[in-house]
Amino acid sequence: MALLGVHEDAEYLPEYGTVVVRDEWPAGGESSPEHENALLGELATEALAGTIATAGDGWLHGHAGDPYQSVRLEAHDAEPPAAGDEWEDVVETPFRSRAGAVALGLLTGGTYDGALELGARGPFRARVSRRPAEEDEEGDVWLVQFWPAPTTQEPPRWLRRGRPALSGNGRERYLRAASDLVSVAVWSDPARTEGLAERLLLPEEELPALLEHAVAGRLVAVDGGTVTAVPRRPPERARSVAWTPPRHETEPVSTPGWPPAAGMVAADGTVVVWRGGDPLPLGKAEGRHLYTAWETPRGIAVFTTAGAGTLVRWDGEAERLPADVGSHPARSADGRLVAGTETHVGRRS
């Protein structure tokens, strides 16, 4: 047994509260065809990420919430040792990679830089382990381990729960657990109700209410002792609405006044000052998205939203400022000194 590769992101920010691991397509390369079970496609059903995580054909979603998360992905050539006691939540699920590599991504599409090579394409087993972060850090810590598996393998199984799978009242109580149920039904195609509560790591007496909730929400269909996943409903067609733009009967009232006392910066970066009541183009600032300009003893300092700003000297020459002072610079009362702050926002802000 060997560890083939690791990819880590200590400050992964989930989109819509979901950790996303998705196939990373090789540039110009070919991928394997889609799985014959179309319900294994990403977002093919209306189920969410589940209580811990669910997976399918080229995707894996983890239920994270909004804070920054620490995520470690590992590729193994065989099943790694069981999750240690430090992990509060553990689930194992089938996973299929059509690309042979995975990366962290966004729920709305795409992946971030940095891929994990799995060593092959095809069926894998994925073990997702989760625990809370330390007291001074945000979010949770995740370990997602992949290893090759037979084409026909055991459906998802929840091995450890440190947090209740059923929480809240009414529909909220079964919302996440119903997504776990859908994952089992899709990979089992269909699932049997016998032993289902044990697989989901839920109290046996809660299973009837969970099934009722999932059927009412059109997530699954139950026929006797079998549970089948239901595909996502097609979106409703938008109705066209005629819209007439408003008409202005009169032009807005404008009041003439004096120009700015010091000057202005035009949209193209031209710095204009007033001399004897007339505008005088002094020079041109570099950069995009100029947001503020200050008069200094040496000239006009213009700041941008990215990178160092520009000092347009009184003789018209432009020079880059020596440092990026950020989007909220400060200056001394005499205009001779400029300061800025650097801020890092994340699990360790």
Amino acid making up residue 281: P
Of 50, 46, 72, residue with least CA distance to 61: 50
pLDDT at 73 over 90: yes
Q: Residue 325 falls within a domain, yes or no?
A: yes
pLDDT at 90: 98
Residues making up the chain, counted from first to last: 349
pLDDT at 108 over 80: yes
CA distance 81 to 95: 18
pLDDT at 27: 66
One domain, residues 145 and 287: no
- pLDDT tier for residue 2 given thresholds of 50, 70 and 90: very high
Q: Residue 160 falls within a domain, yes or no?
A: yes
One domain, residues 267 and 146: no
Q: Residue 182 falls within a domain, yes or no?
A: no
Chosen domain end from 149, 164, 179: 164
Residue 9 is encoded by which pair of tokens? Answer: 């992101």
* Cβ within 8 Å of residue 300, ≥6 positions away: 262, 263, 265, 271, 273, 282, 285, 293, 294, 311, 312
pLDDT at 29: 65
Q: Residue 44 falls within a domain, yes or no?
A: yes
pLDDT at 28: 61
One domain, residues 11 and 152: yes
Q: What are phi and psi for residue 120, nearest 5 degrees?
A: -170, 170
pLDDT at 276 over 70: yes
One domain, residues 272 and 159: no
- Tell me the C-alpha to C-alpha distance, in Å, between residue 63 and each of 14, 224, 276, 290: 9, 31, 65, 40
CATH code for the domain in which residue 150 is found: 2.60.34.30
- Contact at 8 Å (CB) between 146 and 77? no
Chosen domain end from 140, 164, 188: 164
Instruction: Please state at what angle helix 207-216 crosses helix 171-188, rounded to 10 degrees.
Output: 90
How much is the mean pLDDT over the chain? 91
Whether the bond into 33 is cis, omega within 30 of 0: no
What are the E-state strand segments in 51-153? Answer: 53-55, 59-63, 69-76, 89-97, 101-105, 116-117, 122-132, 140-148
- pLDDT tier for residue 346 given thresholds of 50, 70 and 90: confident
Side by side, the strands of the sheet bearing 101-105 are 53-55, 59-63, 18-23, 101-105, 116-117
3-state secondary structure of 210: helix
Q: Residue 235 falls within a domain, yes or no?
A: no
**Which span out of 188-202, 291-305, 320-334 was modeled with the highest average pLDDT?**
188-202
Of 88, 93, 109, residue with least CA distance to 43: 109
pLDDT at 26 over 90: no
Q: What are phi and psi for residue 176, nearest 5 degrees?
A: -75, -40
Domain count, the chain: 2
Q: Residue 205 falls within a domain, yes or no?
A: no
What are the E-state strand segments in 136-219? Answer: 140-148, 157-160, 191-192
One domain, residues 270 and 160: no
Residue 117 is encoded by which pair of tokens? Answer: 């090579």
pLDDT at 325 over 80: yes
Determine what percent of the chain is predicted with pLDDT higher than 70: 99
CA distance 320 to 337: 16
CA distance 17 to 176: 13
One domain, residues 151 and 40: yes
User: Dihedral, CA atoms, 83, 77, 52, 151, nearest 10 degrees?
Assistant: -130
Q: Residue 329 falls within a domain, yes or no?
A: yes
3-state secondary structure of 180: helix
In this structure, the number of other CB atoms found within 10 A of the CB of residue 16 comes to 13
Chosen domain end from 147, 164, 181: 164
DSSP 8-state assignment for residue 25: P
List, for residues 128-186, the tens digit of each pLDDT value: 999 999 988 899 999 999 999 998 899 999 999 999 999 888 878 999 999 999 999 99
Structural domain for 276, as ranges: 263-339
One domain, residues 155 and 280: no
Residue 3 is encoded by which pair of tokens? Answer: 């560890």
Q: Residue 180 falls within a domain, yes or no?
A: no
DSSP 8-state assignment for residue 176: H
One domain, residues 268 and 158: no
